[in-house]
Every structure is written in structure tokens, then in C-alpha cells.
Amino acid sequence: MRHRLTLGLVTATAALLAGCASSPDGAIEAAAYECPVGTEGCDVVQPVGEGGEMTIVSSREGEFSFTVEDGIAVTGEIMVTFENEGTAVHNTEALGAAEGSDISEAPGGGSDEGVFLLFPGEWTVICNVPGHRAAGMETTVQVFATPEEAAEAEASGEDLNDDA
């Protein structure tokens, strides 16, 4: 009898987990849960890891473009050097970056540095000056979980960043 009960529990657990594998309709568009400030157990989650450095250049191919020139990012604190080769003021913002991430802003011909706090995955970086993103100032950067994962991707010749 004990084996039947155990087998029944294992089967029920497997069925429950299989049901979790699919997302209900609308889950992709669902808003993230936000904890009220000061609520116990609702601490801000920050990425932890090696971090790294990255250089983003604007306007290499025209006034409204981004190019990721240098750097492979690993989760954590990523120092971003932003070089603005255009004539207008531009900036860099990683959409959805963890609290405490900077927006680097530079006048035409200038540069700035800031920090992106990013978890592993693909991140969209934009210029948030009104109209600039729509004009083409958007790119994707890849952030890796470990330095080893980043080194493997670099060694394989994988295109790590989608220059726009």
C-alpha cells in the first residue's frame, strides 16, 4: 500500500509540474509583481557576478545609430563607456536593467561612463531622447552568466551584439 501511495504522489507531482511548463494566455504581457516599499521579503534583487566592460559608440554610421565596439558582458556591474560621435545629444539606457543602473548621456563629440546592472540574457539598449529610438538608436547586447560562457561564445565567433 505504501508503494502505491508513493507512486500516486509522484504521478500527481509530475502532472502538476507538466502543467506548469506552459504559460497561461496573457502571461507574457503580465506586469511584474512590485513589492510595497519596506515590505519584509521584498528586497530588490540585484545581479551578482563578474560584470565587465563595454564600449558603445553612437553615430558611427549616421546620426541615429549604435555600435557595440568592444566588450563582452557577464552578469553583474557592467561599466559602459559611451562615445557620441554625432552632433546631437545622445544617451544609453538598458531597458529593464536593475535598480541603480545609470543612463550615460553625452553631447555631440563627447563621452560618458555609467553602469548597467544586468542579469544573463539579451538586453535592448536605446537612446531615450524623444524620437531617437524610432530613428534607429536601438541595439541588443548579450550578457552571459559566467566568464567561461562568455569565453566560449567569443571563441566560437558568435555574433554577440546586434549592432543597429
pLDDT for the residue numbered 5: 45
Distance CA 129, CA 127 (A): 6
DSSP-assigned letter for residue 40: T
3-state secondary structure 19-77: HHCCCCCCCCCCCCCCCCCCCCCCCCCCCCCCCEEEEEEECCCCCCCEEEEECCEECEE
pLDDT for the residue numbered 49: 81
Using alpha carbons, list the distances in angstroms from residue 122 to 57, 75, 81, 87, 137.
Answer: 19, 11, 19, 29, 16
Distance CA 146, CA 133 (A): 30
Contact status, residue 95 vs residue 119, Cβ threshold 8 Å: no
Helix (H, G, I), strand (E, B) or coil at 145: coil
pLDDT for the residue numbered 162: 54
pLDDT for the residue numbered 35: 66
User: What does the pLDDT profile of the chain (164 residues) look like in tens digits?
Assistant: 444 444 444 455 555 455 544 555 655 666 666 766 667 766 677 777 888 899 999 976 778 998 888 778 888 899 999 999 999 999 999 999 998 899 999 999 999 999 999 999 999 999 999 999 999 999 999 999 888 898 888 888 765 565 54
Please name the fold of domain 52-162.
Answer: Immunoglobulin-like (2.60.40)
pLDDT for the residue numbered 138: 94
Q: Structural domain boundaries of the chain? A: 52-162
pLDDT for the residue numbered 137: 93
